[in-house]
C-alpha cells in the first residue's frame, strides 16, 4: 500500500507534524538525510500509526500515492531549493510540494513558477504553534493553487487546532499568500512580545513588583479579556526557578534578543508597498538595539536616570498598564491586518481577512480572545481597511485610550524605555487626526525641490516660486 503523504525534514517540527498527520489516520512516509532522525521517527511512532522512514529519495518518492503530496519542513532558503533539486526529477505531472517552513514569499513565487513549468504544484503554507502546536494542533495558513489545496484540505482540517469545533486552517489566497500571512503573523508576534516586555518593565521598575507578584498580575490578565497564548506563557515564565542559582530563571537571562528574520521581512514589505506599521517596525529595531549591550552599559553610566516617581496607587497603576497593553496590542494587530489588506491588492493574493483572523483564534502564537472581536468586525465588513474603523472596536479603544496615554506618560517621564507603547499611541494619534502638519512638509519639498503640492480648496498640481526669507 502506498502512503498518502510524504514529509521531508524530520527535525522536531517535521516529526511532530508527521505524527499529528498519522494520528489522524493518514499514512505518511518521512525522509531525512540524517539516519538518526529516521530511526527516531520509527521509534517514536505508535503501533496504530502508518508511518515509514526513508533515507533515499528514490525509496521515499516511490512509496507515495499519486498525485504525490509532499510536505517540506526544512529551514527556509537554500535547503528548500536543495530539496527541490533532488526531488523534482523524480516527480510526475500533478504532484504537489508544500513548503511548511517560514519561507520568504518571493522565493515561493519563484518556486511556484519553476515547478509549474514542470507541471508540478508548489504551495507555501504557514504553520504556527511551535513544537507543541505541530504535534497537537497548529494554525495552518496554506496558499497557492486552489485545486491542489482541495486535495490537502481534509488532512489540514483534521490536524489543525479547533475553536468551537471549527478548524484553524483555511485557504489564504493565491500564489505565496500562505507565506505572506504567516510572515505578518510573525510581525504581529514581534510587536506583542515587545509590548508585553514593556509592561513587565513598567511593573518591575515602576511599581517594584517581584516575580511572584508579576505571576499574579499576568495570571489575572490572562484570566480575563486579555487571555492569550503569549500572556499565558509569560505568566508561567515568572514561576520558573533557575537550576543553576536559587533565583528565578528570567532574571538570569541576558537581555539580547535574537531574531530569525520574519519580523524584518514584515517591516521591509510594509515599506515596500507603503503601509504604516510602526509598532511592528519598532519591535524589530528594539531587538537590534538590545544587542548593543556593552554600549548600553556605558551609556547608562554616562546618562544616569532621575529617581523614579512611584505611582500613587499601585493597583490603579497595574490596571492602567494592563489596559495600555491591551490597547497597544489591538493597535499592533490593526497595523498587521492593514498590511495584509494592502498586500492582497498589491499582489492580487485575494486574502480573505475574515478567514485569517478566524484561523488565528487557535493554535498559533498570536492566538487571543481579541481575535473574536476582529472576526466579528470582518464578518460585518469583509473589506474593512483598518480594524480601528469598526464601531465595536472603537468602543473598546475609547475605553482604554486614557490608560495608554497615562502609561506612555509615566514611562516617558521616568525614562523607562517603551518604544512599542509610544509608537502604538503615536500611530493611533496620527491615524485619528484629520489634519496632519504635513502641509508644511509639502511646502518645504516644493520650496527646495519644486516637488509640487496639492491644495485643499481646488483640484490640480501646484508649484510656487517661494519668496526667500525677509530678514
Ligand atoms: C510560530 C513562530 C515560529 C518561530 C518564529 C520565531 O508561529 O510558531 O512564529 O515561526 O518561533 O519564527 O521567530 P524569531 O526567531 O525571529 O523570533
Nearest residue to 397 via CA among 314, 316, 334: 334
Instruction: State the distance from the centre of ligand 1 to the C-alpha of 186, rounded, in angstroms.
Output: 6
Which pLDDT band, with edges at 50, 70 and 90, does 33 fall under? Answer: very high
**Residue 28 Cα to ligand 1 middle (Å):** 26
Neighbours of 349 (CB within 10 A): 21
Say which range, 60-64, 237-241, 465-469, has the weakest mean pLDDT.
465-469
State yes or no: is 398 an active-site residue: no
Measuring from atom 10 of ligand 1, which residue has the nearest CA?
Answer: 128
Cα 263 to middle of ligand 1, angstroms? 9
91 alpha carbon to ligand 1 midpoint, in Å? 31
Give the residue whose CA is nearest to atom 7 of ligand 1. 128
Q: What is the band of 365 on the pLDDT scale with cuts at 50, 70, 90?
A: very high
What mean pLDDT is predicted for residues 260-287? Answer: 98
Q: Where in the chain is the domain with CATH 1.10.1040.10?
A: 182-431
Name the CATH topology of 5-171: Rossmann fold (3.40.50)
Contacts of range 297-305, beta carbons closer than 8 Å, 24 or more positions apart = 305/414, 305/415
* Ligand 1 centre distance from Cα of residue 137 (Å): 16
The pLDDT of residue 220 is 98
**Mean pLDDT for the stretch of residues 203-215:** 97
What pLDDT is attached to residue 144?
A: 97
Cβ(60)–Cβ(32) below 8 Å: no
117, 144 contact by CB (below 8 A): no
Per-residue pLDDT, averaged over 430-457, amounts to 97
469 falls in which pLDDT band (50, 70, 90)?
low
Stretch 343-371: mean pLDDT: 98
Average pLDDT over residues 336-349: 98
Confidence band for 438, pLDDT divided at 50, 70 and 90: very high
Atom in ligand 1 nearest the alpha carbon of residue 366: 7
The CB of 16 under 6 Å from ligand 1? The reply is no
Q: Which of 37, 52, 174, 189 is catalytic?
A: 189
182-431 to CATH, choices 3.40.366.10, 1.10.1040.10, 1.10.357.10, 2.40.37.10: 1.10.1040.10
CA-based nearest residue to 423, from 186, 191, 263, 184? 191
- Ligand 1 atom closest to residue 263's alpha carbon, by position in its atom list: 16
Q: Over 80: is that where the pLDDT of 179 sits?
A: yes
Rounded distance, CA 221 to CA 372, Å? Answer: 17
Atom of ligand 1 nearest to the CA of 365: 7
Q: Are 23 and 49 in contact (CB under 8 A)?
A: yes
Task: Please give the class, per CATH, of domain 437-471.
Answer: mainly alpha
pLDDT, tens digit, 9 for 90 and up, residues 94-130: 999 999 999 999 999 999 999 999 999 999 999 999 9
State the Cα–Cα distance between residues 389 and 385, nearest whole angstrom. Answer: 8
Ligand 1 atom closest to the CA of 130, numbered from 1: 8
For cell 494587530, name the residue: 333
Which residue numbers belong to the known binding site?
102, 128-130, 185-186, 190, 260, 287, 445, 451
Best residue among 138, 189, 362 to mutate for probing ligand 1's pocket (most ligand atoms within 8 Å of CB) is 189
Does this model's pTM top 0.90? yes
Contact 45, 15 (CB under 8 A): no
Query: Which residues in the chain are classed under CATH 1.20.5.320?
Result: 437-471
pLDDT at 471 over 90: no
Residue 259 in contact with ligand 1 by CB distance below 6 A: yes
pLDDT confidence bin for 467, thresholds 50/70/90: confident
Using 50, 70 and 90 to split pLDDT, how confident is the model at 305?
confident
- pLDDT at site 243: 96
Residue 182 annotated to the active site: yes
> In sequence order, what DSSP letters do the residues of 171-186 get, joined into one string?
---STTHHHHHHHHHH
Residue 306 — very low, low, confident or very high, per pLDDT cuts 50/70/90? Answer: confident
Whether 119 and 190 have beta carbons less than 8 Å apart is answered as: no
C-alpha 313 – ligand 1 centre gap (Å): 37
CA-CA distances (angstroms) from residue 36 to 31, 43, 168?
Answer: 11, 10, 33
Mutating to test ligand 1, I would choose from 17, 186, 194, 266 the residue with most ligand atoms within 8 A of its C-beta, which is 186
The number of residues making up the chain comes to 471
470 pLDDT above the threshold of 80 = no
The protein residue whose alpha carbon is closest to atom 8 in ligand 1 is: 128
pLDDT above 80 for 468:
no
DSSP for residue 387: G
Q: What pLDDT score does 157 carry?
A: 98
Q: What is the mean pLDDT of the chain?
A: 97
Q: Residue 307 — pLDDT band, cuts 50, 70, 90? A: confident
pLDDT tens figures, 377-406: 999 999 999 999 999 999 999 999 999 999
Catalytically annotated residue among 52, 182, 264, 373 = 182
ipTM (interface predicted TM): 0.97
Determine the residue of 12, 76, 102 to mutate for testing ligand 1's pocket, defined as the one with the most ligand atoms within 8 A of the Cβ atom. Answer: 102
Amino acid at each position: 500500500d502506498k502512503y498518502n503523504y510524504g514529509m521531508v525534514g524530520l527535525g522536531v517540527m517535521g516529526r511532530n507534524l508527521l505524527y499529528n498527520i498519522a494520528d489522524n489516520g493518514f499514512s505518511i512516509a518521512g525522509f531525512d538525510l540524517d539516519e538518526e532522525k529516521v530511526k527516531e521517527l520509527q521509534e517514536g511512532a505508535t503501533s496504530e500509526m502508518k508511518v515509514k522512514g526513508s533515507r533515499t529519495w528514490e525509496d521515499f518518492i516511490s512509496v507515495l500515492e499519486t498525485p504525490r503530496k509532499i510536505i517540506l519542513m526544512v529551514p527556509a532558503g537554500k535547503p528548500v531549493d536543495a530539496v527541490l533539486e533532488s526531488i523534482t526529477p523524480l516527480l510526475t505531472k500533478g504532484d504537489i510540494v508544500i513548503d511548511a517552513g517560514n519561507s520568504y514569499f518571493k522565493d515561493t513565487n519563484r518556486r511556484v513558477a519553476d515547478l509549474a513549468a514542470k507541471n508540478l504544484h508548489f504551495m507555501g503554507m504557514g504553520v504556527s504553534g511551535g513544537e507543541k502546536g505541530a504535534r497537537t494542533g497548529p494554525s495552518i495558513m496554506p496558499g497557492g493553487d486552489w485545486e491542489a489545496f482541495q486535495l490537502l484540505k481534509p488532512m489540514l482540517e483534521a490536524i489543525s487546532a479547533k475553536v468551537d469545533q471549527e478548524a484553524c486552517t483555511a485557504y489564504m489566497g493565491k500564489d505565496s499568500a500562505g507565506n505572506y500571512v504567516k510572515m505578518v503573523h510573525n510581525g504581529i508576534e514581534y510587536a506583542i512580545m515587545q509590548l508585553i516586555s514593556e509592561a513587565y518593565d513598567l511593573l518591575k521598575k515602576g511599581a517594584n513588583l517581584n516575580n511572584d507578584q508579576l505571576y499574579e498580575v499576568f495570571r489575572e490578565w490572562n484570566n480575563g479579556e486579555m487571555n492569550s497564548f503569549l500572556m499565558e506563557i509569560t505568566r508561567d515564565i515568572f514561576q520558573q526557578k533557575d537550576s543553576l542559582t536559587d533565583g528565578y530563571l528570567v532574571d538570569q537571562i541576558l537581555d539580547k534578543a535574537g531574531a530569525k528574520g520574519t519580523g524584518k521581512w514584515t517591516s521591509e514589505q510594509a515599506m515596500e508597498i507603503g503601509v504604516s506599521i510602526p509598532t511592528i517596525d519598532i519591535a524589530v529595531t528594539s531587538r537590534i538595539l538590545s544587542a548593543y549591550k556593552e554600549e548600553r552599559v556605558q551609556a547608562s553610566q554616562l546618562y544616569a536616570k532621575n529617581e523614579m516617581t512611584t505611582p500613587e496607587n499601585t493597583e490603579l497603576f497595574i490596571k492602567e498598564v494592563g489596559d495600555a497593553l491591551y490597547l497597544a496590542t489591538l493597535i499592533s494587530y490593526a497595523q498587521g491586518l492593514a498590511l495584509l489588506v494592502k498586500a492582497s491588492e498589491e499582489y492580487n493574493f485575494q486574502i480573505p481577512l475574515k478567514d485569517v483572523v478566524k484561523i488565528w483564534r487557535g493554535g498559533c502564537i498570536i492566538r487571543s480572545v481579541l481575535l473574536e472581536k476582529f472576526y466579528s468586525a470582518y464578518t460585518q465588513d469583509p473589506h474593512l481597511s483598518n480594524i480601528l474603523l469598526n464601531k465595536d472596536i472603537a468602543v473598546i479603544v475609547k475605553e482604554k485610550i486614557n490608560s495608554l496615554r497615562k502609561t506612555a506618560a509615566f514611562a516617558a517621564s521616568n525614562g523607562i524605555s517603551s518604544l512599542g507603547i509610544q509608537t502604538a499611541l503615536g500611530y493611533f494619534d496620527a491615524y485619528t487626526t484629520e489634519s496632519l502638519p504635513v502641509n508644511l512638509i509639502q511646502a518645504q519639498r516644493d520650496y527646495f525641490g519644486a516637488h509640487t503640492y496639492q491644495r485643499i480648496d481646488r483640484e490640480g498640481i501646484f508649484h510656487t516660486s517661494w519668496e526667500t526669507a525677509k530678514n
